[in-house]
Structure 1
C-alpha cells in the first residue's frame, strides 16, 4: 500500500497577504488549469496554513487570485475536517446564527465576535477536477463561510457591526503590521 503524504509536508511557505492588499479585496477568478501548478499551490497553501497556525486559508491570502481554499478544522464536536476545495460555491448557509470569536491570518492579532450560520454546505471540485461537497456545522461551518467570503473579496469584519466593529477597527489601526498601510474605505 503506498504511503500517503501529509498535506503541506512538501509545500513551500508563502508570504501572507495582509489587510489592505488589493488581491485580498477583489473577487477571485475560477481555476481553469488543473495541472501541476494547482497541485503545488494547494500543497503550499497547506504548508503556509500550518506554519501560521490557521484552520483555513484562501488562495488570495497568499497573493494568488484563484478560487481555492484549504482547511484543517475541527467542528464543535472536535471532529477533524481536512481537505481543499477548488472553485467552491457556498450553496447553503442556514440554521441558527451564532456570534462567535473569529480571526484571520490576514489580520494577525485581531479578533471580533462575528455572526455566522451554524450550518454550511460548499460544493466545488478537487485539484483533480473531481466533484466534492463539504458540509459543516459549528466552528467548521464558520470556517467554510469565512473562506468562501475571502474568495469573493470579503473579510470577516464585513459581518461585524456596532461596538464590536469599532473595537476591531481600532485594533487594526494599532497593529504593528498595519502601520503605513492603506486600508479599504469600508474599514477606515
Structure 2
C-alpha cells in the first residue's frame, strides 16, 4: 500500500469533546462488503495517523469494530480486525502503562489495566474468533474496546492535576473528561 493510496482512503478523526465519542456503539448484525471496506479504511487511517489502534467511533461510525496493529513494520503480522469484540476474562495482575489516543493528540498519560485478557470477536469474514492477549496488545484492545462503550483513556487517569495540565497544554478541556469511579 503506497503512502498516496493511504492518505486518499483515510477517514476523518473525531476529537475529545465530540459527542460521537461518548455514544455506546451498536453491534454489527451482518459482516458484509461494506463492513470489510470500513475495516480497510480504518486500517489505512490508523497507519496514516501513525496509531496502533483505532475504534469505529473515532471516525464517526457508531459500530462495534476496532482495528489493531502493534507491529506494523512487520508484514508477517497483519492488522487485527475485531468486530463485536467482547472481553471475556481479565487477568488479576494489573500493570501501569502510558497511553495516548488519536482522538486526543499530544496527551500521553499512565493508565492501570489488566496485563492479559481473553477476547472473542468476529473477523472481517464474519468468522468467530477468540484470542488471548497480553502486554501491549491487551492494553490496545482494552483501550479501543473502551471507545465502543463511550469511554476514553483520560476517563481512567486518577490524577486530576496531571490530567488537567496535559489536556490544557494540548488545547483540550478537562470538562470533556468523564472520570470513572475506581472499582472494588
Q: Secondary structure at the match of 1:114?
A: strand
Maintained 8 Å contact 1:111/1:168:
no
Aligned residue in 2 for 1:168: 163
Aligned residue in 1 for 2:178: 186
Task: Provide TM-score, normalisation by structure 1.
Answer: 0.83
Maintained 8 Å contact 1:69/1:84:
yes
Aligned residue in 2 for 1:125: 122
Over residues 121-153 of structure 1, what are the superposed CA-to-partner deviations in whole Å (9 max), with x where a residue is unaligned?
111111221001122111111111111111011
Over residues 152-171 of structure 1, what are the superposed CA-to-partner deviations in whole Å (9 max), with x where a residue is unaligned?
11011222102xx4212222
Maintained 8 Å contact 2:43/2:79:
no
Higher strand share: 1
Over residues 35-71 of structure 1, what are the superposed CA-to-partner deviations in whole Å (9 max), with x where a residue is unaligned?
2211111000000000111111100010101000001
Aligned residue in 2 for 1:41: 38
Q: Secondary structure at the match of 1:29?
A: coil
1:13 to 10, 19, 22: 10
1:23 to 20, 32, 37: 20
Greater CA drift, 41-50 or 20-29: 20-29
Deviation at 1:87, TM superposition (A): 0.6
Note the aligned Cα RMSD (angstroms): 2.3
1:97 aligns with 2:119: no
Deviation at 1:184, TM superposition (A): 2.9
Task: Provide TM-score, normalisation by structure 2.
Answer: 0.84
Over residues 3-44 of structure 1, what are the superposed CA-to-partner deviations in whole Å (9 max), with x where a residue is unaligned?
xx89xx678111111011111111100012322211111000
Gaps of at least 5 residues in structure 1 are none
Q: Secondary structure at the match of 1:158?
A: helix
Maintained 8 Å contact 2:26/2:64:
yes
Distance 1:182 1:112, change over 3 A: closer
Q: Secondary structure at the match of 2:43?
A: helix
Number of residue equivalences: 172
